[in-house]
Amino acid sequence: MDATLSFDEALEKYDPVLGFEVHVELNTKTKMFSSAPNVFGDEPNTNVNEVDLGMPGVLPTVNKKAVESSIKIGLALNCKIAESCTFARKHYFYPDTPKNFQTSQYEDPIAYDGYLDVELSDGTIFRVEIERAHMEEDAGKLTHMGGATGRIQGADFSLVDYNRAGVPLVEIVTKPIEGAGARAPELAKAYVAAVREIVKNLGVSDARMERGNVRCDANVSLRPYGRETFGTRSETKNVNSLRAVEHAVNYEIRRHAAVLDSGAAIVQETRHWHEDTRSTTSGRPKSDADDYRYFPEPDLVPVVATPEWVESLRAELPEPPAERRKRLQKDWGYSDLEFRDVVNAGLMDEIGDTVAAGASAAAARKWWMGEIARRAKLADVDPAALGVTPAVVVELESLIASGKINDKLAREVLDGVLAGEGTPTEVVDKRGLAVVSDDGALQAAIDQALATQPGVAEKIRGGKIQAVGAIVGGVMKVTKGQADAGRVRELILKTLGVDG
């Protein structure tokens, strides 16, 4: 592994500059330039036709849905949308690219000059400028067989699966990101998370990083503080989890710092990320003069996005995630801390659904952040995967509100629901869990509790009303928790002739 400085030491000496290329696979039914299905995980080379295989004589046709999705992504990233844009051919010989060129966009991307406000964990907003978002096609997938590394070097042979060849991609390119300082790794993670959230929210991508739906190339360079010009960058390719993005940027900052400290120059190159060692290794040299011999794709006519079309797509856009969060926090009346906890726990949607189903925001939070989260943690699953529906939460809450059960019983009811015994009401009935609210039965228990704690009864009579809790506790014990605590309190005070 390369020498590295500590992160703090690196940051003390150098100012990091970042840049990201995020590839988003669109979830259109068919491919970017052919009518073959765009489906993940099928048998290799089944979702291909003559166009995807680059057979002699074939021509591409543009997937209109993919263009719409690209425009939506551009709009969500506050970009300008090109009224007319063209495709270009990017040439390089590689067997995962059936035509030995990738049909992409070069001089005139469909979306350009945008920005994304990224929220860091403490609520700080960092604006990332977007250079462009352009349309292109994905390559096939190579599997190198034999050899020790699973890489092409040393492999005995390689297998190609062209199912992914031609899947629509939108590549989102940032402008150089300056001023992140020590928060660079955190910003990297937050930026990619924000892009992922946006494309998921738009419904244009499945946005599953583990499937490669969202892939990040992270560019890092360092420069001494105060210098205007950028240092030489490295590009760490295909960093495919949020955690990895953070770690890769962190590692590259530390590696660059060590190289610069040694007096050597950074090699402009691509780097491979290794999750196991949390480090990068050298890929191929990459200079700005890489010659892809771009030229306008002569088989496709320009994509014309009329203002009417763009505006109709803009009207279809869902509320942006950041704005939605602001609105929900206000609607629900959560404190900043409460809301951030909800967001970090990933339970915003569940709480939203539960509120929509009729629960109060406070109750929804209480259940999801409390009992449900606790059980999920025990079971080591996502709270959403536990099987508690918003309807169950709403019903539990209404049972509590009606006095039929109390919080303690509600947890038992939830046991029953999760055990498949039916709805909360059915569980209450089946398990006979209803709160005892028959005054006669309660009065007997109260009399008994008062008799066993005469001192407490005296204190209450003497005006220490808060002491009533001890008697309530005694009653709850006797009734095994099935008493309506509020009613018990009322009856105790009445029995003792004290005004609550």
Q: Using CB under 8 A as the criterion, which residues of the chain lie in contact with other proteins when the complex forms?
A: 50, 53-62, 89, 91, 93-95, 98-101, 152, 158, 160, 289, 291, 293-295, 298-301
Residue 99 or 489: which CB sits closer to other proteins? 99
The CA distance from 115 to 129, in Å, is: 4
Tokens of 49: 């036709």
CB of 295 to other proteins, least distance (A): 6
Give the ranges where 61-110 is alpha helix by DSSP (H): 64-76
CB of 289 to other proteins, least distance (A): 6
Residue 90 or 255: which CB sits closer to other proteins? 90
Looking only at the bridges linking them, the beta strands covering 234-239 and 269-274 are parallel
CB of 421 to other proteins, least distance (A): 57
Residue 95 or 370: which CB sits closer to other proteins? 95
Residue 104 or 354: which CB sits closer to other proteins? 104
Residue 115 or 292: which CB sits closer to other proteins? 292
Owner of token pair 């049909």: 103
Contacts of 175 (CB under 8 A, 6+ apart): 19, 129, 130, 131
CB of 41 to other proteins, least distance (A): 22
Other CB atoms within a 10 A radius of the CB of residue 463 amount to 9
Identify whether the C-beta of residue 101 lies closer than 8 Å to the C-beta of residue 88.
no
The CA distance from 424 to 396, in Å, is: 6
Please give the backbone phi and psi of residue 401, each rounded to the nearest 5 degrees, phi first: -65, -35
CB of 272 to other proteins, least distance (A): 19
The CA distance from 40 to 24, in Å, is: 14
**Any idea what the Cα angle at residue 446 is, between residues 443 and 450, rounded to 5°?**
140
Residue 99 or 375: which CB sits closer to other proteins? 99
CB of 301 to other proteins, least distance (A): 5
Q: Give the dihedral sign, CA 254/256/259/260.
A: negative
Residue 84 or 121: which CB sits closer to other proteins? 84
CB of 229 to other proteins, least distance (A): 23
